[in-house]
């Protein structure tokens, strides 16, 4: 993307599965939410494969009853905040990469399917708030792969996005739709073969290449 005069550059990151290893707490909370709504407890693998999708869409995989879908989502929003930092930690190198980007004069943003309030609570609880210029959740607008959350994040920063970094196909599709180059990371929800179907500009096992690409 061509940089507009006077505007900072920015790199946008997904949160869960990209910057932080939060899947165990998410999977646990979603499985418990299903039980709370009267559904059988789904398998860990079944839930893990759905991470990154909106809650209602995840629940619809296990029930077509609209009422129960709503109950699962409501139960998750009660349960997850009670457990969201039990096992969740930043991935190795994530904090260092954020610091290095900011040292280069590049703004950093999170664009996540989580609601903004929950995403900010999580980032703060992990001690990462000082390393990220803006945390943007999906609040009342289209979820990824729509680019809305990325556009809102960049508007809040007043910056021009260069890269979208994510661990799912929908992250990469959203980044491309927003006009950003895409950097797929292989340690999260989708493996390298799955990410490759989205044809990212870079597909990597670490964040090291990112720093060389923005210098």
| C-alpha of 4 from chain center | 26
Which residues are known to be catalytic?
A: 14, 16
Residue 19 backbone dihedrals phi, psi, to 5 degrees: -90, -30
Pick from 145, 184, 148, 149: nearest CA to 163: 184
Burial 58-90 (b: 16+ CB within 10 A, else e): bbbebbeeeebbebbbebbeebbeeebeeebeb
Contact, 184 vs 211, CB < 8 A? no
Identify the CA nearest to 109 among candidates 145, 151, 75.
151
**Tokens describing residue 1:** 């993307």
**CA-based R_g, the chain, Å:** 17
């Amino acid at each position: 993307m061509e940089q507009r005069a006077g505007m900072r550059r920015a790199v946008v990151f997904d949160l869960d599965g990209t910057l932080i290893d939060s899947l165990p707490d998410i999977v646990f909370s979603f499985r418990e939410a299903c039980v709370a709504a009267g559904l059988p407890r789904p398998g860990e693998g079944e839930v893990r494969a759905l991470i990154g999708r909106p809650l209602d869409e995840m629940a619809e995989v296990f029930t077509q009853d609209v009422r129960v879908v709503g109950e699962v989502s409501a139960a998750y929003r009660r349960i997850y905040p009670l457990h969201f930092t039990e096992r969740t930690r930043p991935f190795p190198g994530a904090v260092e990469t954020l610091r290095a980007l900011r040292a280069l004069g590049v703004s950093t943003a999170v664009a996540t399917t989580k609601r903004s309030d929950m995403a900010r609570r999580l980032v703060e609880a992990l001690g990462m708030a000082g390393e990220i210029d803006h945390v943007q959740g999906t609040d009342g607008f289209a979820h990824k792969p729509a680019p809305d959350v990325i556009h809102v994040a960049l508007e809040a920063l007043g910056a021009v996005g260069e890269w979208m970094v994510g661990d799912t196909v929908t992250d990469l599709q959203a980044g491309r739709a927003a006009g950003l180059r895409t950097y797929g990371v292989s340690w999260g929800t989708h493996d390298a073969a799955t990410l490759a179907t989205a044809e990212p500009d870079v597909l990597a096992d670490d964040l090291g290449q990112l720093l060389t690409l923005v210098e």
